[in-house]
Structure 1
Amino acid sequence: MSSVVPTYHQRVAQEKRSLIVAAATVLFLELGYDRTTLARIAERSGVSRATLFKQFPSKAALFDAIVTESWSTADDEDAPPTGNFVDGLSTLGRRYATLLSRPQMTDLFRIVIAELPRFPELAHAQFSHGKMPYFESVRSYLLAEHEAGAVRIEDAELAATQFLGMISNYVFWPRLLVPGWEVSTEGVTQVVDEAVRTIAARYAATGPASSLND
């Protein structure tokens, strides 16, 4: 019996957390970050103020949670193992396309862009807690493949930017800016595959990998 009760309470707490995050996202879009209060979020989500304050003591903490959940992968997958550069990079590219295709990702960027002049800290949170951790995972993978001798990359940060940019320029930015923009599953697959081919063609090693500092 004792093992069931914590599980039940954890599930209820998670359900309430999800309701709070969803309500906050909608209100931030409707009213703006400044005009949205925690009390209003509690009312919209159907939870008590005490419950909301227990999970999120401030509006900034709640926005950080929106960023973190928007950028989290389904199972917090580990980086692909080294040894097959094309397969590994394809995995990372598909994960990125999936993240960018989430409705909450578009909502997140719209909130940040709208509130940037008055609340630059929101952009900082989005960059440091969302974009950069995923970017770093790709950069680290490229470094690992370089060390393994699969590729020769002098600037892993630039290579990661090139790879992710090829995907986001098709999958995400038009959808953010153009009403009704839709990207088919086939289109996403093609874009990721072409981005992988481009990076592989540019950085494939023809011999033992040289030092990144050469």
Structure 2
Amino acid sequence: MSKVVPTYHQRVAREKRALIVKAATELFLELGYDRTSLARIAECSGVSRATLFKQFPSKAALFDAIVTESWSTADEEDPPPAGDIADGLAVIGRRYAELLGQAQMTDLFRIVIAELPRFPELAHAQFARGKMPYFESVRSYLLAEHEAGTVRVEDVELAATQFLGMISNYVFWPTLLVPGWEVSAERVSQVVDEAVRTLVARYAVTGSGASADD
């Protein structure tokens, strides 16, 4: 499928939007959501107030954009086809680890956690617009594998939570809590592989072609 080439004005609009989102993220982290004004964001991003207000009429709309940008790579990838649970989970696991490894994802969670007591709507936006749609894609994949007969999963929501949790609990959450926490690419790969083996061992149908040792 051929991609539509954006016009000059569309490219400029996208570039300005990216500058606005970047400036807003940095200011929310530095000053807090409440103390950051749209006027300050416009100043720091180098765009006019009119340009900013045209794209983002409120801070809430701007935060929604930050959530969307942070999770955007998850929407650009097609789900793996059903039929080989080990290969499919490996693809999903690597994508998830890469997504969590992005700096903007860490920044997003830090903003939400810091502002949660005063602005619970930010957590709702993060959950509804980012985390939940991604979780649903994983749930749908496991349901497709269940229907294909490669796995037997009575509770696909629980299975999706187990799989994503095994990855995020090692490669992501400590970065918010442990100073200097870093995970090498080799270790990330090992974490994903072990998560795949665990789910395959638990749910794969014997003789389906999937193996915990694949």
What does residue 78 of structure 1 align with? 78
Partner of residue 87, structure 1: 87
Who is 2:22 aligned against? 22
Q: SS of 1:73's equivalent?
A: helix
Could you list the structure 1 runs, at least 4 aligned residues long, displaced by more than 4 angstroms after superposition.
none
Distance 1:175 1:29 in 2: 16
Q: State the match for 2:162 in structure 1.
A: 162
> What do the CA deviations read for 1:49-68 (whole angstroms, capped 9, x no partner)?
01101111110000000001
Residue in 2 that maps onto 1:211: none
Q: Percent identity?
A: 84
Give me the TM-score of the superposition, normalised by structure 1. Answer: 0.92
Task: Supply the RMSD in Å over aligned alpha carbons.
Answer: 1.4
- Does structure 1 conserve the Cα–Cα contact (< 8 Å) formed by 2:29 and 2:107? yes
AA paired with 1:114? A
Q: 1:136 is aligned with what amino acid?
A: E
Mapped partners of 1:55, 1:138: distance in 2: 31
- What one-letter code is carried by the residue in structure 2 that aligns with 1:112? V
**Conserved in 1, the CA contact under 8 Å of 2:150 and 2:204?**
yes
- For structure 2, the 5+ residue unaligned runs are 209-214
Find the counterpart in structure 2 of residue 9 from structure 1.
9
Take 1:117 and 1:108, find their aligned partners in 2: how far apart are those partners? 16
- 1:127-142 equivalences under 5 Å are 127-142=127-142
Q: Report Cα offsets for 1:146-165 as digits up to 9, x if no partner.
A: 00000000000000000000
2:169 aligned partner, one-letter code: N
Task: State the distance in 2 between where 1:92 and 1:207 align.
Answer: 23
Please identify, of 69-78 and 58-67, the stretch whose mean Cα deviation from structure 2 is larger: 69-78
- 2:197 counterpart of 1:192: no
Distance 1:75 1:144 in 2: 18
Matched residue, 2:48: 48
